Structures are given as C-alpha cells and as structure tokens.
Amino acid sequence: MSDLEIAPYSGALGAEIFGVDVSQELSNSAATAIRQAFLDHKVIFFRDQTLSPPAQRRFATLFGEPEIYPFIKGFDDAPEVIEILKTEDDQKNFGGSWHSDTSYMPEPALGTVLHAIETPDAGGDTLFANTAAAYDALSDGMKRIVNGLVGVNSSENGYAGGRARAMANLNGMSGAFNKAAEVFESEHPVARTHPDTGRISLYLNKSHTVRFKDMTAAESRPLIDYLTDHIIRPEFTCRFRWRPGSIAVWDNRTTLHFAVNDYPGKRRRMNRVVLKGDRPR
C-alpha cells in the first residue's frame, strides 16, 4: 500500500494509479483504495500491466461480476473476455461513438475493464465524459423535465441489418461475432441514481437511445441531441492515450466513452470484459 499512488487525471474525471501490479493478488487495503478511486473518479487508468485473459477476468472481479457479452465470442479460457481488433484494412472501428456499454440491456453493464495489447504509434485514444457533472450543470427547469423521462434503448440503433451482422463485417472481428445474437430493447430513467454514491447522472446516448417512452422518435430527437451534446462539453471530459499494457476501468453508470477512429492503416488490439449491472433507478 505504501507504493500505491492515485493521481487525478483531469479536472472532470479520471485518475491514474501507480505502484501496483494488478496481475498479482492485491492486499485488502490496496483493493479498497482502488475500488474507492473507481467510485470517486469514475474512470481509472493503469500503465505497463501484463494480463492474460484469465488474469484480466480475475482483476475485473475487484469491481463486480464479469459477464458474457452476447454479441462476441470470448476466449476459451476466459469466455467473459473478448478481443476487439481493428486491422490495417478496417475502415470502421468498434465503439466509435459516444455511448455507455450495453445500455440496451435490462440490467446494463456496471463497468468495463479494457486492456491494451497492440496500439498505433499515434491515435486510437478513448474519450470519457462525466454524466453526473453534466446533470449537475443543467438548469432547475431542465432537471425537472429530465427527471420525468424514460429512455427507450435498442441494441439495433444505427446498425442496418442488425448489430452482430454489421460488426462481423470488420476484418478484425470476422468470425468472432454471434450472428444469431438476440435483439435487446430496454427502458431506463434518463436521470439515473448511482446505487453506491447516490449521485444523479444523465443516462442516455445517441448510440443506443432511440426515443423517450410515450413519445415518438421525431419528438424525442431534439432533446436527445441537446442532452447528449451537453454531456460531451469539454469541461465534462478527458482523453486517454493508450500504449501497450495500459488498462482503463470505467463506471458505465455515470460515464460515456468514445473510441476515436483516427489511425487508418494501423492495428489496435484490446481485450475487454464488462461487469454485470443492475436495473437503473
């Protein structure tokens, strides 16, 4: 514990943690400090870590229960861990829009643990946004509106012919996607209360939120656009530059993230595990 250092990463959110090898069993004090940093800072970062898929799954249990992602086949020895690969020939990337992981599920992912295996020499950063700070900055009148809204979220939003089929067309993901994966649609409050901190966060995104309950998509779109553009204002965001061995752990209940697709002709390979969540309230 004496070597553990937690340093804020930006004014909006994020902390970088030094002095720990997460492939090893952590002391109770170190584990407690890391879990608290996750709640306090919403996304935490580690550098120069070496994790096999089973070791990544084991580390992920520090924050919650790893679960199977329905659209991608995991590793044989760690089925909860999936590989996300963009090859030199791929034009599109995985996660290239602002979103919260699996917000279309009845019980969306609590968090995500992403480990960088191969990274381009430049580009391929991930942006994060603090959706609690974004909610706090709304006017009282807008908060009253938002507090009464329920978002309808779909796994198929933006994917012509289905999410699994479209993503399977990526060269790096060929054969990894479950083309028969189920279609998910779920309703969640747009003003979500965090079960551990009690803070309210905006819980919607352009990738998955198609409309508000009891409203048409056309009626909903202007407010969805306003709120999601508000969330990603610079003062609510940070940008993480990856290198091999980097790890990011983020809280999907109170953040959005965006994988920047600015490295044409280069490879980016990551291993990811999501954590079982609960029904938003």
Of the candidates 101, 115, 188, 251, the residue annotated as catalytic is 101
Distance of alpha carbon 40 from alpha carbon 75, whole angstroms: 31
Residue 92, by phi and psi: left (phi above 0), alpha (psi -120 to 50) or beta? beta
- Examine the residue annotation and report whether 199 is marked as an active-site residue of this protein: no
In the chain, where do the E strands start and end?
5-8, 15-18, 43-46, 66-67, 82-86, 111-118, 126-130, 150-154, 185-189, 191-193, 200-202, 209-212, 237-240, 247-251, 255-259, 268-275
Distance of alpha carbon 27 from alpha carbon 16, whole angstroms: 19
- Examine the residue annotation and report whether 257 is marked as an active-site residue of this protein: yes
- Examine the residue annotation and report whether 76 is marked as an active-site residue of this protein: no
Of the candidates 57, 99, 211, 253, the residue annotated as catalytic is 99
Contacting residues for 126 by C-beta, under 8 A, at least 6 apart: 95, 114, 239, 240, 242, 248, 257, 258, 259, 260
In 190-254, where do the E strands start and end?
191-193, 200-202, 209-212, 237-240, 247-251
Q: List the catalytic residues.
A: 99, 101, 257, 272
